[in-house]
Structure 1
């Protein structure tokens, strides 16, 4: 998936057990959700569930994702994936 071609991507509500393809850092100059530019102080964070890149504000949640092997330690997820995981 090329970030520039599909900026309307939303995490799939029907979760699969395959690890997501992470968006390349160089292909993402700003947060996928709020569009804030990344800087030295505003770092990139990959959501462990969907693979997209977000700022800290838009990915400050953590959740266990047993389907991907994160059974015991919660990992960083974006706000949308967190909402879907907690449904």
Structure 2
């Protein structure tokens, strides 16, 4: 049986045990979740688990992620990754 390769697949950082490559700040003009635009008052924040860029509201959680060697200090994660990590 053959399977088609999904080019949109993004590996799960917890599964691969490697830190994700961060999205480039220059291409991130809006929050990946709520789509609000970034400005001097609404800053960009990278999720340490998925590497995507979010606003403060959509990435206000912090957790330890031992699989990615964030063992001692909780790090910023987006709301979606927070739900997955804390299951």
Q: TM-score scaled to structure 1, two decimals?
A: 0.84
- In structure 1, the residue matched to 2:66 is 66
Task: Provide structure 1 residue ranges, at least 5 long, that are not aligned to the other structure.
Answer: 1-5
**Long gaps (5+) in structure 2:** 1-7
What's 1:3 paired with?
Answer: none
Q: CA RMSD in A?
A: 2.0
Give the Cα separation in 2 of the matches to 1:75 and 1:11.
20
Contact persistence 2:54–2:78 (CA under 8 A): yes
Q: Contact 1:19–1:68 at 8 Å: present in 2 too? A: yes
Normalised by the length of structure 2, the TM-score is 0.84
Q: Give distance in 2, aligned partners of 1:69 and 1:53.
A: 20
Which of these two proteins has the greater Rg computed from alpha carbons?
Answer: 2
Question: What is aligned with 2:49?
Answer: 49
Q: Tell me how far 1:12 sits from its aligned partner.
A: 3.5
Cα distance between partner residues in 1 of 2:71 and 2:63:
9
Aligned length: 80
